[in-house]
A = this chain, B = another copy of it.
Amino acid sequence: MAYLLSELAEEFNLQLVGNPDASIERVAGLDQAGPGDISFYSNTRHKNALQACSASAVILSEDDTGLYAGNKLISGNPYASYARIAQKLHPRHRPAAGIHPTASVDATARIDATASIAQNAVIEADADIGANCQVGAGAYIGRGAIIGAHSIIFANATVHHGTRMGKHCLVHSGAVLGADGFGHARDAAEWIFIPQLGDVELGNDVSIGANTTVDRGTLGDTVIGDGVKLDNLIHIAHNVQIGDHTAMAAGCGIAGSTTIGSRCTFAGQVGVADNLVICDDAHFTGRAVVLKNINRAGVYSSGILLDETTKWRRNALRFGQLDTLYKQIRQLLKESDKK
C-alpha cells in the first residue's frame, strides 16, 4: 500500500519540503533506503548515511533540514514520527474476524463480532473479548477475564481468570498473566500455600513480552499502568504496582508488593526487592539491584565491570578484605596526621 508524501505529512501533522507526490511504500534505514522508502535521521553519527541516502523522503528535525537535499518531513520528534508512519505503512497482518471452528469458547463468554479467535484458542466462562481483539492460536483466556478493544493475545499466551486489561494491549506468546503469586507461610519445615485471591489489571496500551509472567495479587490486585512496556522474560510478582509509561527491558524481576512510579526505565536484568517504593522518573542501568526505596528521580547502577578473568579474580578476592583495607587506611591516615 503506497501513500503520497503529502498524505503522510497531513495525517501526522508534519511540514513537507520537496515533492508532495512522492510515493511512499515502506520504511527503511538510511543505508538501505531507495525509491519508495521513507527513512529518518536523528543522530549525528548517521550524518554521512543521510547525505548519501536515496530514500524517497527522510523525516528529520528543523535543525537538520540543511543536511539533506531530498524530500523531507520536518518533525519535532523524528523518531516518534517515524514510528507512527511505520505503523501506518506496515500494519500488522489481521486474521479475519470470527471464531475458528477449532477454538473452544464457553457459551457465556462475550466475543465482539469484530474479534478474531484463532485455532485452538480457549475462552472460558464470562470472559469478555472486545472489538477488534485477536486471540491467537492456543491462547488461553480464563473465566471472567476482560480483554479490551484492539488488544492482541498472541499464540500460546495464557491469561488467567479475572485478569482485566484496557484497550490496545499486546500480550506476546508464552506470557502468563494471573498465575498464583508466590505466597507460602512456613510451619516448621513445611510451606503452607496462601491462596492468591487478587487479580491482574493492565491499563491501556500495555505491552507484555514473550514468556513474561505477571502474577495475580494475594489480596488486592497486581496493577500495571497505562502505556507500560515490558520486554521478554520479566517477572512481576504479586501486588506489584507499576506506574504509567514505565518500561523494562528483558530479564528484570520485581518482587512482591513493590510500587514503581511512572516514566521509569529499567535496562536488562534489573532486580528489585519486595515491599519497596520507587519514585517517578527513576532509571536503572543493566543488572542493577535495588534493595531500598528510591525517593529521588535519577539514574542508578550497581555491579562490577568486566575484566579478564585472571585480573578479575585477583581483584574479586580483595573485595572480601575491603573493610579491613578501609580500617588500615584509616589507621595510616591517623598516624600520618600525628606527624
As a 0/1 sequence over residues 253 to 281 of chain A, the CB contacts with chain B under 8 angstroms (1 = contact) are 10100000011000111010100000000
As a 0/1 sequence over residues 81 to 95 of chain A, the CB contacts with chain B under 8 angstroms (1 = contact) are 011101100101100
- CB-defined contacts of A69 to chain B, threshold 8 Å: none
Q: Is the CB of A134 closer than 8 A to any CB of chain B? A: no
Please tell me if the beta carbons of A195 and B137 are within 8 angstroms of each other in the complex: no
Please tell me if the beta carbons of A232 and B249 are within 8 angstroms of each other in the complex: no
A84 to B326 CA separation, bound complex (whole angstroms) = 50
A310 to B156 CA separation, bound complex (whole angstroms) = 43
Q: Is the CB of A165 closer than 8 A to any CB of chain B? A: no
- CB-defined contacts of A255 to chain B, threshold 8 Å: 249-250, 267-268, 286
A120 to B92 CA separation, bound complex (whole angstroms) = 25
Shortest CB–CB separation between residue A201 and chain B, in angstroms? Answer: 17
On whether A309 and B305 interact (CB within 8 A), knowing A192-B83, A271-B286, the answer reads: no
- Looking at the complex, which of A3-11, A16-24, A288-296 is the stretch in contact with chain B? A288-296
A92 to B161 CA separation, bound complex (whole angstroms) = 11
Please tell me if the beta carbons of A172 and B161 are within 8 angstroms of each other in the complex: no
Binding site for B on A (CB under 8 A): 27-29, 32, 77, 79-80, 82-84, 86-87, 90, 92-93, 100, 102, 104, 118-120, 122, 136-138, 140, 142-143, 154-156, 158, 160-161, 170, 172-174, 176, 179-180, 182, 184-187, 189-195, 197, 205, 207, 209-211, 213, 215, 219-220, 227, 229, 231-233, 235, 237, 244-245, 247, 249-251, 253, 255, 262-263, 267-269, 271, 273, 285-292, 298-323, 325-326, 328-329, 332-333, 335-336
